[in-house]
Chains A and B, each alone.
Chain A
Amino acid sequence: MKVFNLIAVAALCASAVRAQTNANTAASSAPRPATRIQSASVDFDMTGRRAVYHGNVRVDDPQMKLTCAQLVVDLPPDAGHPNHIVAETNVVIDFTDAKGQTMHATSDKAVYVYEVQNGATNETVTLTGNAKVENAQGWLTGEPIIWNRANNSLSAMNQKMIFRQNLDSMKAGTNSPPAK
Chain B
Amino acid sequence: MKIKLNRAILILSALMALGFFAAIHAQPNGAGHASDFTSVEYYDAPNEKQMKTRLAGAEAQPLAGGLLVIKQLKLEMFDTNGTLNVVVKAPDCVYDTLNGTASSSGHLQLASGDGKFRVEGDGFLWRRDAAFLTISNNVQTIIENAPMTEKKTTP
Contacts and interface: CB of A to CB of B under 8 A. Distances in A.
A7 B2 contact: no
5 contacts: A4-B4, A31-B148, A33-B145, A35-B145, A41-B134
Contacts of A115: none
Contacts of B58: none
Contact of B147 (A19, A27, A46): A27
Given A4-B86, A4-B112, A29-B147, A34 B1 contact: no
A38 interface: yes
A42 B5 contact: no
Interface residues of B, number: 39
Interface of B: 1-7, 9, 86, 110, 112, 117, 119, 121, 130-154
A29 B131 CA distance: 39
Given A3-B110, A79-B2, A44 B147 contact: no
The 4 closest A-B pairs by CB, nearest first: A3-B5, A4-B3, A46-B131, A46-B6
A103 to B, nearest CB: 17
A2 B112 CA distance: 11
B147 A40 contact: no
A79 B134 CA distance: 21
